Amino acid sequence: MTAVSFSETQPPATRAEAQADPARTLLRVQAERRILAIALPSLPTDRISRARAGHWWRSAGHPEPGPLACAENIKGAMRLSALNRAACARGLRPGQGVAEARAICPDLDVVPADPAADARLLEALADWGDRYTPLVGCDGPDGLFLDISGCAHLFGGERALLADCMARLFHLGFEASAAIAPNPALAWALARHHPGRIATPADIAKIMPGLPVAALRLPSEVSAALSRLGLKRVGDLVDAPRAPLTRRFGRELLGRIDRMKGLDSEPISPRRPVADIMSERRLGEPVSDIDAIGELVGRLAANLKETLAERGAGVRRAELRLFRVDGAVRRIEVGTARPLRDPARLCRLFAERLASIGEDFDAGFGFEMIRLSVPVFETLSDAQADFDGRGTDKAGFHDLADRLAARLGPARVLQPIPRDSHIPERAMTHLPLTSRKGPTCAVPLAPASAAARPLRLLSRPEPVTAVAAVPEGPPVIFSWRNARHRVGRAEGPERIAAEWWSEGEDALTRDYYRVEDEAGRRYWLFREGLYEREPGTPRWFLHGLFV
């Protein structure tokens, strides 16, 4: 998976002004950036509760589970790594030994930790967060960052967006807290220490002094050292001399403070590239019928056509995201052999892809939002059609190839691409026809005489036993795969020298022959090595079959 990092940068002059007057400059520099931070402190135990009582256990009115904890081997002992609310209420804490915890809470339910399952669940929640913004990044093992700059008005404002997010997470069975701030550092701190807060750049100077030192996300040993010195609030550090703090605790401490102030930018890395062109529709009622989904895809594709035409571009890869009511997200991709912007053709490709999924297409309780995006597009110039209004035969071929790739998968429809090698088995490679990679050199796809090469070329030459009338002559009899063949006609040799620059100076020369046995079957054989001129005894191989 590819990630795109984005961040705000400040020129040196702006940074100097910010240090002189932070409140004034922060409002000007980062007024447009809005970050929603979501904290999921009980993600491992919520995963277990959802598996036992269902994804909707909170909204369905199920009682809160008893004390539940996850344990893993930490420093040679089984210790608690995650707790639910009931376990915390009994006085248990992360890092506590399992034996000690059970002595305090005899009815504690201890489950082995599964970090891989927790990571998969967090990734699924990040997909779920795409409904608000495509700029979603994971924040450690228990949090998410959403860059909602410029999109909060689509949900009725930041307060309404925050309320909708928290309500949905509650109904999905998660214990979560969230906050919105001008930068990720402050949003992270507010989500965990002042949940529900919406901070503006002007609020930074008021909020920071009251936050605990733990809000700076410092290493535990640094936080403990600061606490021993009586520095328990961020306000105790903001006005302190910077040079002594740097000598005592390193540059990371001041870097964390500057990020929370907004003097240093903190990038968020979305998990997937953000498409430049997209169209989405939020549905009043969930849909689950494939035909209805196909109709909606056609409407979204029609919306994209105008944008593509303005850019003079066509789709090379399109992605359809279907957001289910229960929070699951289904992604479906199609590719094209050449750029296109015809909504009908794009709709047919997705119809083929949906048909190939068949019974595996699980709509659950239905989809409440559909998004069609174009992550990859290329220049597409307008072309004159035939007098009868039809395209060329080549256009029909590409349309067929696209539909086959959508139905069978892109790895099943391949195209030969020449490579910089004259050795037959290395002269070509095969890539999906919908791939953006083209030929790597100017070598033609076929040799000057197409009849000189077999239609079927073995991936690796297979050894055969052959007898020739003279040492340097063609074979008269050869055995391949336990079958004996007597040669009726032979043509050759075609000599192919070794690639000494890659295989070494001792690489052997090949003499290829086109032979036909008495039954009329034609083969492509070669003798590797030259008598008395190259080391070793020459050997025979079969490399291809003519049809």
| pLDDT for the residue numbered 87 | 93
> What's the Cα-to-Cα distance from 117 to each of 23, 44, 114, 163, rounded to whole Å?
43, 8, 5, 28
Whether pLDDT at 7 is above 60: no
In terms of Cα–Cα distance, which of 333, 439, 320, 437 is closest to 378? 437
Whether pLDDT at 5 is above 60: no
Contacts of 527 (CB under 8 A, 6+ apart): 466, 468, 493, 510, 511, 513, 538, 539, 540
Question: What digits encode the pLDDT tens for the residues 276-327?
Answer: 899 999 998 999 888 899 899 999 999 999 899 999 999 999 999 999 988 8
Lowest-confidence pick of 171-175, 226-230, 395-399, 429-433: 395-399
| pLDDT for the residue numbered 215 | 92
d(CA 286, CA 151): 23
Instruction: Give the H or E element holding residue 204.
Output: helix 204-207
DSSP character string of 281-309: EEEEEEE--HHHHHHHHHHHHHHHHHHHH
| pLDDT for the residue numbered 22 | 35
Neighbours of 285 (CB within 10 A): 6
For the whole model, what pTM was predicted? Answer: 0.74
Question: What digits encode the pLDDT tens for the residues 47-89?
Answer: 999 998 888 887 777 788 899 999 999 888 899 999 999 999 9
What average pLDDT does range 474-495 have in this prediction? 94
Question: What digits encode the pLDDT tens for the residues 92-150?
Answer: 999 999 999 999 999 999 999 999 999 999 999 999 999 999 899 999 899 999 999 98
Percent of the chain with pLDDT over 90: 50
Q: Which domains does the chain have, with CATH numbers?
A: 12-39+118-261 (3.30.70.270), 60-113 (3.40.1170.60), 277-408 (3.30.1490.100), 450-546 (no CATH)
Which sign does the torsion angle of CA 262, 265, 266, 269 carry? positive
| pLDDT for the residue numbered 403 | 87
Burial grade of 501 (CB within 10 A; 0-12, 13-18, 19 or more) = exposed
d(CA 329, CA 153): 23
